[in-house]
Amino acid sequence: MSFMTWSHHFETGLDGVDKQHKALVDLVNAVAPLLSATGDAGVKQAEHLLDQLTHYATVHFQDEEALMRDTGLAPEYIDKHGHTHEAFGHAVVTMRRQATQAGQLTGNELLRFLTSWLTFHILGEDQAMARQIKAMQGGDTAQAAWATEAARTDASAPTAVYTTALIDLFSVVTQRNRALHTLNEQLQAAQTKLSDINRELEARVAERTEALTHANLRLTAEQAALVASMAELKQTQARLLQAEKMAAVGQLAAGVAHEINNPIGFVTSNLNTLNTYTTQMFELIDAHGSAVRPSNANSTVNLNYLKEDVPALIAESAAGLQRVKNIVANLLAHNQLDTKSWQPVAWNDLVSRALQATQDQRPPRIALTLALGDVPMVLCSVDQVRQVLMNLLRNAAQAIEGTGTIHVRSGQFSAAGKVWAWIEVTDSGTGMTEDVKHRVFDPFFTTRPVGQGVGLGLSVVWDVVQQHSGRVSVNSQPGKGATFRVELPCTQVTV
């Protein structure tokens, strides 16, 4: 909505001049927002408008003065008109300084100034300029046209025009008020829309917050899974390291066992021959009686003692050799895996056989509890797996120094697309330190006194379980016993 409308009274008949006058009316309309502006905002708007007026005055006045010179108007009039232009420019500069330095200029002051300019300059001075130009175009001289204009005494025309302009102005103000009312309604509608947008934004923020919360939960779960994967990787690395260690020990054991078996063989054979010879010799002595007995009664030779002691020594030596052979056999077991002899067997049947085989090695002071679950068939080397279970039961019995209990449990679970059978042997013994736990499956490692074990039982357990693509673990603390867990796949394994 315009604050001031263009009136036909403003027209001079000079196209260039009228076009620039319309631009000035547009500037007047730009003053309207300043009527309600206060404080720094109003000053800034006034400064901007004054800058536009300065530019307008520079262009418009130069064009008007050039037009008057080119037309040949009287010099006296051109000089008078030029002073009017200078007065306008001086007023604009003064108001610009007032707005910048004092901050006191208002839209009303600008409105009064521009209204005065339109009334007394455009309707007065510029109309006089146009009349002189038209008179000269009709044949008058410049001086005659200027004299005629100077003699004009009809003041009613500018007054009527001025009155008409004011009426138009008040009409525009009324329309502006209506426009402000409409603008207020639009502003309220905009505020309502803004409230709706704010509510929508809050809903989006809540939705985004919820999504972020879920994302944080997923991230936490992923971090937990990563920690679990790292722990599993660490266990896998430990198992690989143990497997490499066992493979190296197995190769060493195979070579040592081969070298030991040869002297064991001929020493055992010689002991058997010696036992035969001594038996024959004592029989010969008994047959010949006193003929072969020493005549000196004080002789240190006591044939009766020799007849008792020599066979005992030979038997003890043979037992020692047999123990060495058993140790060698255990060493060789690390590298022996005959998958052709594998067969499906009931897991709990293997557990029962191992319990029966070790029954005599479990003293009455040690109680036994069973909790065997429903487990499917297991494809394995029956003798080797039974040996694994027997070694675990013996180890549990040896770990209990006084009275105690051995708990045996079995069951199944599914993982990685396979069904697994498991058994746990728990003892109430002395338990293990972390260092012992890390070395308990190493060959020849034992915590028992010298002469009571060579440390191959749990090593065989580890090796056999690995050969069956299974897992074995131990959980123990000092003074709280130990639990050994063996897991074997129930389906066909890859060897």
pLDDT band at 156 (very low <50, low <70, confident <90, very high): very low
Reported as a pLDDT band with limits 50, 70 and 90, residue 95 is confident
In this predicted structure, the answer to whether residue 423 has a pLDDT above a threshold of 70 is yes
Q: In Å, what is the CA distance from 405 to each residue of 234, 369, 409, 426, 450?
A: 33, 8, 13, 8, 26
Q: Does position 1 have pLDDT exceeding 60, yes or no?
A: no
Q: How far apart are CA 491 and CA 39, in angstroms?
A: 89
Which of 322, 327, 335 is closest to 254 using CA atoms? Answer: 335
What is the rounded distance in angstroms from the CA atom of residue 195 to the CA atom of residue 366? 80
Under the phi-then-psi rule, with left for phi > 0, alpha for psi from -120 to 50, and beta for the rest, what region is 98?
Answer: alpha
Measured from the Cβ of residue 367, the count of other Cβ atoms closer than 10 Å reads: 13
Residue 103: its pLDDT value, please?
61
The whole-number pLDDT of residue 60 equals 85
Identify which of 37-46, 264-273, 366-375 has the greatest average pLDDT.
366-375
pLDDT of residue 171: 46
* All residues at 6 or more sequence positions from 380 whose CB lies less than 8 Å from its CB, including other chains: 342, 343, 345, 468, 488
pLDDT band for position 339 (cuts 50, 70, 90): low
Q: Which residues of 95-129 are buried (b: 16+ CB within 10 A; e: fewer)?
A: bbebbeeeeebbbebbbebbbebbbebbbbbbbbb
Spatial distance between the Cα atoms of 111 and 91, rounded to a whole number of angstroms = 13
Q: What is the per-residue pLDDT across 459-477, written as a single tens digit (0 to 9) for each?
A: 888 888 888 889 999 998 8
SS3 assignment, position 369: strand
**Whole-number Å distance between alpha carbons of 38 and 10:** 32
The predicted-structure confidence for 181-206, as pLDDT tens digits, reads as follows 678 778 888 999 999 999 999 999 99
pLDDT average, residue stretch 226-242: 78
Return the minimum-mean-pLDDT range out of 3-7, 240-244, 313-317, 483-487. Answer: 240-244
269-272 contacts at long range (C-beta below 8 A, 24 or more positions apart): 271/314, 271/317, 271/318, 271/321, 272/318
Q: How far apart are CA 58 and CA 52, in angstroms?
A: 10
- Note the Cα 78 to chain centre separation in Å: 82
pTM higher than the cut 0.75:
no
Residue among 21, 16, 15, 128 nearest 6 (CA): 21
pLDDT in tens, 29-79: 776 666 555 567 667 777 777 888 888 888 888 888 899 999 999 999 899
Q: Has residue 108 got a pLDDT over 70?
A: no
How high is the mean pLDDT of the chain? 79
Show the CA angle centred on residue 242, arms to residues 241 and 243, nearest 5°. Answer: 90
pLDDT at 291 over 60: no
